[in-house]
Structure 1
Amino acid sequence: MFIVSFPYAVHQGGYWSIVAMVLIAYICCHTGKILVDCLYETNPMGRLVRVRTSYVEIAEHVWGRRYGARLVNMAQIIELLMTCILYVLLCGDLVEGSFPDSPLSLSSWIMVSTVPLLACAFLTSLRRVSWLSFWCTVAHMLINLIILIYCFIRAPHWHWGDVKLRIDVWTLPIALGIIVFSYTSQIFLPTLEGNLTDRSKFACMMHWTHVAAAVFKALFSYIGFLTWGLATQEVITNNLPHPSFKIVVNLILVAKALLSYPLPFYAAVDLMQTALFKDRSKPSSEGGTLFPSCMDERGMMKVWGLALRLLLVIFTTMLAIIIPHFSLLMGLIGSFTGTMLSFVWPCYFHLKIKWYVLRWPARALDIGIIVLGFLFGTVGMYYSAHALSRAFRGLPPEPIHGL
């Protein structure tokens, strides 16, 4: 979904952002494979057996139930809820860009966009979420096609000289955070691999999908930035010049963002229910939770459970209103939870579980990715937080003349 902000990442990081799109795709492909490898152990017969089922169970094995499960659960929930916040913020940003003369502010458009999302509180079936995600994909493919056709029409006027080769230490970390955030699929990989008809094809699937993602993101970002140059906005569809054309494209993208919201929301709710609202009758050491189940004996949602889900939707709306800077927020999130979930933890768990069966090049690669993850995370969080602070004061992301 956030590929619409990738040309802005090129605006921030120049050619280095394009290099990062390919490099981070390779790293996330590797960490996704080794994360799934941590689900398996070799039995006395020399065969691989799947002894764990989720990211959380891997963390439990390494750090214990008390700390491992809670830490990874918290990071996953933050990642998913922040994704929901970004979808809501994107909806408001797109509608405001479509109707700039409207008396309604960005906050008002965000609240209007949230109204249909309240229905997500009633989602209890993954099948319904899947259908919404299907139509979300259809809308996204349509948007990508429209934008690319328009960009190629404008090819004679491309701004070739606007792409930076030098490294800007104030804006490149923000771009890296955006890119890392776009590749964070590790949360879903253990479940995905467990549901494959032929699990031996998992590595092949990871290779092809990450190659395709890297090629498309790099080309889309470069072509999008060349079309508008230094005038590229945080959401590229707001650069479309013709008001009626921009309105149509933005409204399709709003529909796509609304259809994208249910999946991370459903996943976040499922994680929260498993961690907090499952079975209060058992002690925590045996899988008991702090609160009773949100479902009754018939499998129907309790009234207070529905109320909590509605409050969660409203919570994502309130945060979107409080932090109305789409790309900067995405960079901050990617620098924090993205680097931990996609870079550091998979490699650390892999080293911890498989150390004695790994050869030294594999160990060196994992250690190198951990170091890179900490570097990306620390630098990205500092510069993204600094840029957000400046944005709240109405200043540009990078400091000028010591401001």
Structure 2
Amino acid sequence: MDEDTKSIATPLLESSPSGTASRLQTLGNIIVSIVGTGVLGLPFAFRIAGWLAGSLGVAIVGVTTYYCMLLLIQVLCRENLASNGSSVEARTYGDLGYKSFGSFGQYLTEFLILVAQCGGSVAYLVFIGQNLQSIFQHPGLTFQLFIILLVPIEIGLSWIGSLSALAPFSIFADICNVLAMAIVVKEDIQQAAEGEFSFGQRTAITSNLGGLPFAGGMAVFCFEGFGMTLALENSMKDRAKFPRLLAQTFGGITLVYILFGFFGYMAYGDETRDIVTLNLPRNWSSIAVQVGLCLGLVFTFPIMVHPINEIVEEKLKRLQCFTKPCHSDNNSLTRLGKIGIYISRAIVVIGLAILASCVPAFGVFASLVGSTVCALISFVLPATFHLKLFGSSLHLWQKALDSVVLFCGLFFAAYGTYNTVVGV
């Protein structure tokens, strides 16, 4: 980021307080935004791709995602610098789409973000359903039944007005993620000490090339939270230090991902499940971690769904029967409008639950979401915006690098989607 860009102090997201978070707070926000349930599918991805190919794939995805995050921040800051003194400024990802390709670009960007949020929400439900099915093993208790039982709870939570009351549960879920990862590593070390597997029995690079994009889609899904880039950068008090902090955090997360995927695959080999917690022995510690993960995700699901509700409710508030005349704030809703908001949130939860009940497996779905919308949002759009808005001022190597990211992202999205759909 150049010196002119560093001096920009224009807020990127109106809903986020600008310049209040310390370095430590920003570090925590980055980790919470990026690390999610997808990490527990990495050992399965390493099983599909091989431990060496999987390690290289996660490293490449991590570096590319970091680079594209910097592109997004750079484009936004320069656009606001160019807009200084005018009434039109870029504040969101959708605004960049509008500045690049007009209304079509804005609608496409917001649509992809909406689909990505829906995909992440569905993955949460599938994850909870499969883990509860593993805990309460009974022929009549399918994971679809557990998802249905969750619907009334999630509808009630989605009606809570303040999301800040649910935010601590997101941290709780991440703590459970760490505990699950620790237990998997412990199991691996224990099996290695007992000589229950040989390193040579594990595949380094799969002979099935179709497994590589499948594993790549899972890796992309693991680096979730790309849409939070602008809010995270804007929230930091010393924004000039954000790129370096982001690089350090991404480096640490990528290393942890590689080690966890490696150890998980080494522990269970060809028996590795698409959610590695399903491989854990049935003892009190493993069950406690699984229950903790499910409980944390139950309370963080409304946070994941919140952007979807915002988009739906914005459309509803444009209806004359939903709002009082001569009012534009949130208190302008009529009684019918308030009831409509509650109903819309319930419909969103029910719709996502129906989709989740049709998903065959967490790993397949996570790879599909990562290969499609996550790849487009994380790689294709940032590179396209950068080339479109500043192509004439870029060096040749910058144009070449952006073009490589763009076309590789498109190829990966197309080929990864095909492989996921037809099966690995």
Instruction: Give the Å deviation of 1:238.
Output: 1.0
Instruction: Give the Å deviation of 1:178.
Output: 0.8
Give yes or no for the alignment of 1:80 onto 2:109. no
TM-score (norm 1): 0.86
Q: Which moves more between the two structures, 292-301 or 104-113?
A: 292-301
Give yes or no for the alignment of 1:18 onto 2:55. yes
- Residue of structure 2 equivalent to 1:27: 64
Instruction: Name the SS for the 1:188 alignment partner.
Output: helix
Would the alpha carbon gap of residues 234 and 372 (structure 1) be closer, same or farther in structure 2, given more than 3 Å must change?
same
Instruction: Give the Å deviation of 1:147.
Output: 2.8
Would the alpha carbon gap of residues 298 and 316 (structure 1) be closer, same or farther in structure 2, given more than 3 Å must change?
closer
Letter matched to residue 253 of structure 2: A
Give yes or no for the alignment of 1:190 onto 2:190. no
Contact 1:294/1:302 (<8 A) preserved: no
Contact 2:317/2:333 (<8 A) preserved: no
Contact 1:135/1:259 (<8 A) preserved: no
- Residue of structure 2 equivalent to 1:38: 75
Letter matched to residue 248 of structure 1: A
Q: Distance in 2 between matches of 1:184 and 1:253?
A: 17
Aligned residue among 176, 186, 190 for 1:139: 176
Contact 2:157/2:299 (<8 A) preserved: no
Instruction: Give the Å deviation of 1:280.
Output: 4.9
Q: Deviations over 1:44-67 (max 9, x none)?
A: 8999xx9311100000101112x1
Would the alpha carbon gap of residues 111 and 280 (structure 1) be closer, same or farther in structure 2, given more than 3 Å must change?
closer
Give yes or no for the alignment of 1:69 onto 2:106. yes
Give yes or no for the alignment of 1:375 onto 2:414. no
Letter matched to residue 110 of structure 2: N
Instruction: Give the Å deviation of 1:355.
Output: 1.5
Letter matched to residue 407 of structure 2: V
Q: Distance in 1 between matches of 2:305 and 2:360?
A: 20
Q: Distance in 1 between matches of 2:182 and 2:150?
A: 25
The 5-angstrom pairing of residues 354-369 of structure 1 reads 354-369=390-405
Instruction: Name the SS for the 1:38 alignment partner.
Output: helix
- Residue of structure 1 equivalent to 2:295: 255
Q: Distance in 2 between matches of 1:3 and 1:13?
A: 16
- Residue of structure 2 equivalent to 1:316: 352
Q: Distance in 1 between matches of 2:328 and 2:197?
A: 57
- Residue of structure 2 equivalent to 1:343: 379
- Residue of structure 1 equivalent to 2:94: 56
Would the alpha carbon gap of residues 148 and 34 (structure 1) be closer, same or farther in structure 2, given more than 3 Å must change?
same
Q: Distance in 2 between matches of 1:104 and 1:351?
A: 52
Aligned residue among 332, 354, 357 for 1:297: 332
- Residue of structure 2 equivalent to 1:164: 204
Would the alpha carbon gap of residues 129 and 356 (structure 1) be closer, same or farther in structure 2, given more than 3 Å must change?
farther
The 5-angstrom pairing of residues 116-265 of structure 1 reads 116-156=153-193, 157-160=196-199, 161-265=201-305
Would the alpha carbon gap of residues 296 and 364 (structure 1) be closer, same or farther in structure 2, given more than 3 Å must change?
same
Q: Distance in 2 between matches of 1:33 and 1:195?
A: 16
Q: Distance in 2 between matches of 1:99 and 1:121?
A: 26
Instruction: Give the Å deviation of 1:168.
Output: 1.6
Q: Distance in 2 between matches of 1:92 and 1:45?
A: 48
Would the alpha carbon gap of residues 240 and 202 (structure 1) be closer, same or farther in structure 2, given more than 3 Å must change?
same
Give yes or no for the alignment of 1:6 onto 2:46. no
Letter matched to residue 413 of structure 2: G
Instruction: Give the Å deviation of 1:75.
Output: 0.5
Give yes or no for the alignment of 1:277 onto 2:313. no
Q: Distance in 2 between matches of 1:232 and 1:366?
A: 36
Gaps of 5+ in 2: 1-36, 321-326
Q: Distance in 1 between matches of 2:354 and 2:166?
A: 23
Letter matched to residue 397 of structure 2: P
Instruction: Give the Å deviation of 1:329.
Output: 0.9
Instruction: Give the Å deviation of 1:131.
Output: 2.6
Letter matched to residue 58 of structure 1: L
What percentage of residue pairs aligned between the two structures are identical? 20
Give yes or no for the alignment of 1:326 onto 2:362. yes
Would the alpha carbon gap of residues 29 and 2 (structure 1) be closer, same or farther in structure 2, given more than 3 Å must change?
same
Instruction: Give the Å deviation of 1:332.
Output: 1.0
Q: Which moves more between the two structures, 90-99 or 235-244?
A: 235-244
Q: Distance in 2 between matches of 1:351 and 1:29?
A: 17
Contact 1:98/1:246 (<8 A) preserved: no
RMSD of aligned alpha carbons: 2.6
Q: Which moves more between the two structures, 29-38 or 351-360?
A: 351-360
Instruction: Give the Å deviation of 1:385.
Output: 0.9
Aligned residue among 139, 144, 148 for 1:107: 144
Instruction: Name the SS for the 1:41 alignment partner.
Output: helix
Q: Distance in 2 between matches of 1:298 and 1:46?
A: 35
Q: Distance in 2 between matches of 1:344 and 1:322?
A: 29
Q: Distance in 2 between matches of 1:54 and 1:32?
A: 13
Q: Distance in 2 between matches of 1:365 and 1:6?
A: 28
Instruction: Give the Å deviation of 1:361.
Output: 1.4
Letter matched to residue 148 of structure 1: V
Q: Deviations over 1:243-293 (max 9, x none)?
A: 54443232122123223312221122223334x234457xxxxxxxxxx98
Instruction: Name the SS for the 1:163 alignment partner.
Output: coil
Letter matched to residue 149 of structure 1: K
Instruction: Give the Å deviation of 1:158.
Output: 4.1
Letter matched to residue 315 of structure 1: G
Letter matched to residue 228 of structure 1: Y
